[in-house]
Amino acid sequence: MATGPLRLVDRPVPEPGPGELLIRVICCGVCRTDLHLAEGDLLPRRPDVTPGHEVVGEVIQAGPGTTRFAAADRVGVAWLAGTDGSCRYCRRGSENLCPQSVYTGWDRDGGYAEYVVAADAYVHPLPSGFSDAELAPLLCAGIIGYRALKRAEVPPGGRLGLYGFGGSAHLAAQVAMAAGAAVHVFTRAPAARQLALELGAASAQDSDDPSPEPLDSAIIFAPVGDVVPPALRNLDRGGTVAIAGIHLTDIPSLNYSDELFQERTLRSVTSNTRGDAEEFLRLAERLRLRVSVTPYPLDAADQALSDLAADRITGAAVLTVA
C-alpha cells in the first residue's frame, strides 16, 4: 500500500440510463474488498474502475422506467449491482451465485466519487436512527457478516468464534449476541479486542490462542488461510466454520482426524442476495446496532486503505464525500 494505487481524476457527471439512478455520494465505506482490488489480490473487471460499494447518497435524477426511488430520496448502494434474473441460481433464490452477476466498484464505477449511477432494482432504502457515516458500513460489512452468520448456522444460544474483528465482525457479533450467542473473538489487534469486550463479547484473545470453550460455529473474517486449521480445531462436534471474505490466502493442509472428523464443516460465503440485505437492514434498525467508524476525506482514500491494511482502524473506515 506504500505505492498509493489510487489516482484522483476528473470525470463528467454520469447520466442514468433506463432503470438507473444518478446518486450524489454523501459518504462511502472502505471495505477490505477495495483493499484486495488495490493490492492486486482481485483483478479489476474493468480498466480504471472507481472502487467503493458501501455508498450512502441522495438521488439526483431517476432514469426512464425507475419505480422504487425518486429525486431527493436517501439511498444505499451495495456490492451486488446486477444479475441476469433468469439463470437457475436466480430462479431458485440464489442470485448471489448468478454467473452473470456484476458488482459495484468491480464491474461498475463505485462510490469513491462525487456521483455514482446504480440500477434502481439493486439500490436499498436505508434504516433510520443512524448517521450517514454509520450507515455506510452496514451496506457491505453488515450485510456480508449477516450472510456469514446464516452460513455458520449458529444454534440458539450457541458459542460463536469470530476470527478478525473489523468493520464486518463488530456488526455480526452484535446480531449474534442479540440472538443469545456467546461470542469469542480472535484478533491480533489490541484495540479490536477492547472493542469486542465493550460490545459484550464473552472473551477476546489473539488469533492463535485456543478458545476458552468448544465452539458451535466460527466465522473467519481475516483474509488469512492460516487461521482455518485452528478455527476447525476449536469447533465442537458437528460445528461449522464459514469463511466470509472474497479472498483468502492459501489454507495449509488439514489433518482429517483433528480438524474435520466428527462432522465438522468448512464452507465459503459468496456475496449476498438482496433478501439478505433487506433482512439485515431491518435488523440493524430494530437492534440499534452500534457502528464504530473512522472518517477520512475522499482525497485520503489511499491513507484509509493503508490504515486498513495495517490494522490501524478500529471498526470501519468511511470516506466523507459531500
Interval 264-300: pLDDT, tens: 999 999 999 999 999 999 999 999 999 999 999 999 9
The whole-number pLDDT of residue 211 equals 97
Is the domain of 249 the same as that of 156?
yes
263 has pLDDT over 80: yes
Is the domain of 79 the same as that of 136?
yes
CATH number at residue 282: 3.90.180.10
Is the domain of 113 the same as that of 49?
yes
Q: Which of these, 105, 135, 108, 120, lies nearest to 26 by C-alpha position?
A: 135
The whole-number pLDDT of residue 40 equals 87
CATH number at residue 184: 3.40.50.720
d(Cα 78, Cα 254) in Å, to the nearest integer?
Answer: 35
Q: Which of these, 283, 275, 281, 237, lies nearest to 54 by C-alpha position?
A: 281
98 has pLDDT over 50: yes
Q: Which of these, 209, 254, 207, lies nearest to 232 by C-alpha position?
A: 254
Band (pLDDT 50/70/90 cuts) for residue 99 is: very high
Grid coordinates belonging to 266: 468448512
Interval 120-161: pLDDT, tens: 999 999 999 999 999 999 999 999 999 999 999 999 999 999
The number of CA neighbours under 13 Å toward the Cβ of 132 is: 17
Q: Please, are residues 21 and 69 in contact by the beta-carbon 8 Å criterion?
A: yes
Domains in the chain: how many in total? 2
Interval 64-81: pLDDT, tens: 999 999 999 999 999 999
* Other residues' Cβ atoms within 10 Å of the Cβ of residue 159: 23
Tell me which residue range forms the domain holding 97.
Answer: 20-140+271-320
115 falls within a domain: yes
